Structure 1
């Protein structure tokens, strides 16, 4: 078997594929150009998109050339989803998201050298095609019967699906054929939910060009209970640091469940197989050390946000529990920590509260009496400084960055207050 295919299978990156033997032989023939697409239906890409970029990075390391398509045209339409019809975003909004996502994906893969990744926008070719040409040149190769057999279409027939979303598969197939024609792209990758679109593009290339193309669909990553990985109670884990802070990002992976963490490590870390196998052995023997979680969180945060941001996230986590100084955290990290703690907001103009009231407001004790008891028992802290006076009141010097106070009861119950200016 082709060494790259074997590597991708070991990392759990192949859920669907065209003929693997034929694909392996194609990869062995020489450098292959492969593409993956990202539709700008939000201002940032997310964890599911990062799986695709990890696959592209693996292809590039093996000597192949990635093409990263940001869908300036398909993003105006949106791929059909099970939940119902998408809301179409304004063209100017989509245009702005295209540029943001181009910058994101371009920062996560090598764009230099002979096999440097190429960034392309499908609006560059679809914008020039008339409706008549599109119907004659692309639509004639598609059977409505086969389109109706797509799972997402069948699930939407009762509730309704617009012709716009029904036709999305034609647009994505056109993209594959265009890249095949102009850049010799012979392989498409995407999430398992894109498999129908990928095979439709392969079929269009066969029908209209007489060519052969290949595809890989990656699995949907889930937690042990089957729920989607990359989702939190507060929403999606985004790669944009303004939407998911590096601190929250790092913490998310530190909290990966033992049952799944090695699987995630294989996908999101580029450590060699023997090193990951050793981490897996240590994880199984001493799961309480959380060796795999630390490796996962560090590697993925370094990749997405850079090592300095990861070190800041680690410093913030240590400071929260008294292992370093909270006052040394920068304003952005403080804001991220306060947000993750669900900081209670104190309106501007209000006097600073007592420590007891601060403990109650931040939710670390259920009542004032419990707050006083925590202080009496030596288990109440403001910014990691033990409070001994049950009548103590917060002072301006207690406000980190001039607006935050971190309160703690015992070793692990932590909360925050944000004082509006």
Structure 2
């Protein structure tokens, strides 16, 4: 039986570990309860977050017990890690709604039945904390000097770090202590931007409970140039099919750079590593086959096999000039808008095809925009009722991005 630590290592997940040999040994000899935190700043995960879910799925398959911790309490403070400025504050009702949605979403991929795994919300213990008791019991273990050397705070010091954010490390560390007491949780895992907070938790459990616990971070999902993946011109690529359709998710992965194929296959699919390396080494137009496999496999994990097949079919139909439009994103709009006429540039921006009218204008000038398969060269073009065929209009951006408007 292979050790899940080796699997995660071979697939390229692991970035840093507090005690590499001990963690590997522990994961080889017992069923370990571990936790990963999710920040409820939105009501869906995006592709970048899914790395964490993949790690948890690998761990659960190997017999370990995940705790998916939603940060309903910490979100009221805002996590400064990896951010250059303070986050905008959400209302408590928004945070609660997001936390419930995330818990529901994560439960699709992991068994969180209370035996094989758990779902928790740190609001349950953070909200009722008495400030003076907390500062006396927990705050005494934290050295401000040492906290200021932490990467997550260093970058904020230039712009100003609020006391609110300074508390975040104490609260996240307290989560580990709470989960250790409640579930005997021995391992905290998170994205590489969480390293300082994880070290805080490992240290706090050692001081309070006199127990050795462990921390592990994994790589963020980035391109070969180091840019975060999971973002497009029109925003994040979401896991929620109402925010990003299975077709759009498929297309996003189908169109990644050649250089990113192998790494993304290793991180976002369960294909054996021999197959990942074989697909990653394909060259020329052959690499497109690997991208199709990646897009299909990941869409299947997220949305199930049937949706993945539909997305694949729609993508192939588009590519071969066919017209299977069932999975192309579409927007219903009021007929009256087009009776008056609307500028193409504004329409593209409204539909999320472009982030600004300036970007749309550039695309038109470069010949990158078609309406109903006719290339548009005049950026002043108005879209009117006459442009619709059977109440439908197709806008194409570049070679592969389509959006249908229905009235």
TM range (shorter): 0.7 to 0.9
Q: Give the match for residue 345 of structure 2.
A: none
**Corresponding residue SS for 2:68:** strand
Structure 1 Cα separation of the partners of residues 275 and 35 of structure 2: 29
Q: Give the match for residue 158 of structure 1.
A: 158
CA contact (8 A) 1:406 1:417 kept: yes
Q: Give the match for residue 353 of structure 2.
A: none
Structure 1 Cα separation of the partners of residues 396 and 190 of structure 2: 45
| Residue pairs, 1:196-215, within 5 angstroms | 196-215=196-215
Q: Give the match for residue 318 of structure 2.
A: 320
**Corresponding residue SS for 1:349:** helix
Question: How far is the alpha carbon of 1:164 from its aligned partner?
Answer: 0.7
Q: Give the match for residue 130 of structure 2.
A: 130
| Residue pairs, 1:259-298, within 5 angstroms | 259-281=259-281, 283-284=282-283, 287-298=285-296
Q: Do the aligned partners of residues 67 and 297 (structure 1) sit closer, same or farther apart at CA in structure 2, a change above 3 Å counting?
A: same
Q: Out of 17-26 and 231-240, give the one that drifted further.
A: 231-240
**Corresponding residue SS for 1:159:** coil
Question: How far is the alpha carbon of 1:216 from its aligned partner?
Answer: 1.0
**Corresponding residue SS for 2:128:** coil
**Corresponding residue SS for 2:186:** strand
Structure 1 Cα separation of the partners of residues 401 and 35 of structure 2: 45
**Corresponding residue SS for 1:262:** helix
Tell me if 1:111 matches 2:109. no
| Residue pairs, 1:390-405, within 5 angstroms | 398-399=389-390, 402=391, 404-405=392-393
Question: How far is the alpha carbon of 1:407 from its aligned partner?
Answer: 6.2
Tell me if 1:349 matches 2:343. no
Structure 2 Cα separation of the partners of residues 280 and 413 of structure 1: 22
CA contact (8 A) 1:316 1:337 kept: no
Gaps of 5+ in 2: 343-359, 375-383
**Corresponding residue SS for 1:15:** strand
Structure 2 Cα separation of the partners of residues 183 and 413 of structure 1: 48
Q: Out of 228-237 and 11-20, give the one that drifted further.
A: 228-237
CA contact (8 A) 1:262 1:280 kept: yes
- C-alpha distance after superposition, 1:68-91 (max 9, x if no partner): 001110111111043211111111
Q: Do the aligned partners of residues 413 and 209 (structure 1) sit closer, same or farther apart at CA in structure 2, a change above 3 Å counting?
A: closer
Q: Give the match for residue 181 of structure 1.
A: 181
Question: RMSD of the alignment, in Å?
Answer: 3.3
Structure 2 Cα separation of the partners of residues 413 and 122 of structure 1: 43
Bigger-Rg structure (1/2): 1
Question: How far is the alpha carbon of 1:397 from its aligned partner?
Answer: 8.4
Structure 1 Cα separation of the partners of residues 69 and 120 of structure 2: 5
Q: Do the aligned partners of residues 2 and 137 (structure 1) sit closer, same or farther apart at CA in structure 2, a change above 3 Å counting?
A: farther
Structure 1 Cα separation of the partners of residues 28 and 108 of structure 2: 28
Q: Do the aligned partners of residues 210 and 317 (structure 1) sit closer, same or farther apart at CA in structure 2, a change above 3 Å counting?
A: same
Structure 2 Cα separation of the partners of residues 229 and 417 of structure 1: 26
Question: How far is the alpha carbon of 1:351 from its aligned partner?
Answer: 8.3
Question: How far is the alpha carbon of 1:206 from its aligned partner?
Answer: 0.4
**Corresponding residue SS for 1:398:** coil
Q: Do the aligned partners of residues 193 and 239 (structure 1) sit closer, same or farther apart at CA in structure 2, a change above 3 Å counting?
A: same
Structure 1 Cα separation of the partners of residues 300 and 323 of structure 2: 23
CA contact (8 A) 1:78 1:86 kept: yes
Question: How far is the alpha carbon of 1:306 from its aligned partner?
Answer: 1.9
| Residue pairs, 1:57-76, within 5 angstroms | 57-76=57-76
Match of 1:406 among 391, 394, 401: 394
Q: Do the aligned partners of residues 158 and 277 (structure 1) sit closer, same or farther apart at CA in structure 2, a change above 3 Å counting?
A: closer
| Residue pairs, 1:86-101, within 5 angstroms | 86-101=87-102
**Corresponding residue SS for 2:216:** strand
Q: Out of 170-179 and 218-227, give the one that drifted further.
A: 218-227
Q: What TM-score, normalized by structure 1, do the two folds share? A: 0.81
Q: Give the match for residue 389 of structure 1.
A: none
Structure 2 Cα separation of the partners of residues 316 and 413 of structure 1: 11
Structure 2 Cα separation of the partners of residues 225 and 112 of structure 1: 40
**Corresponding residue SS for 2:173:** helix
**Corresponding residue SS for 2:112:** coil
Structure 1 Cα separation of the partners of residues 290 and 45 of structure 2: 25
Match of 2:297 among 292, 296, 299: 299
Match of 1:311 among 293, 297, 309: 309
CA contact (8 A) 1:17 1:217 kept: yes
Structure 1 Cα separation of the partners of residues 140 and 233 of structure 2: 45
Structure 2 Cα separation of the partners of residues 100 and 381 of structure 1: 37
Question: How far is the alpha carbon of 1:3 from its aligned partner?
Answer: 2.4
The count of corresponding residues between Structure 1 and Structure 2 is 378
**Corresponding residue SS for 1:190:** strand
Question: How far is the alpha carbon of 1:312 from its aligned partner?
Answer: 2.6
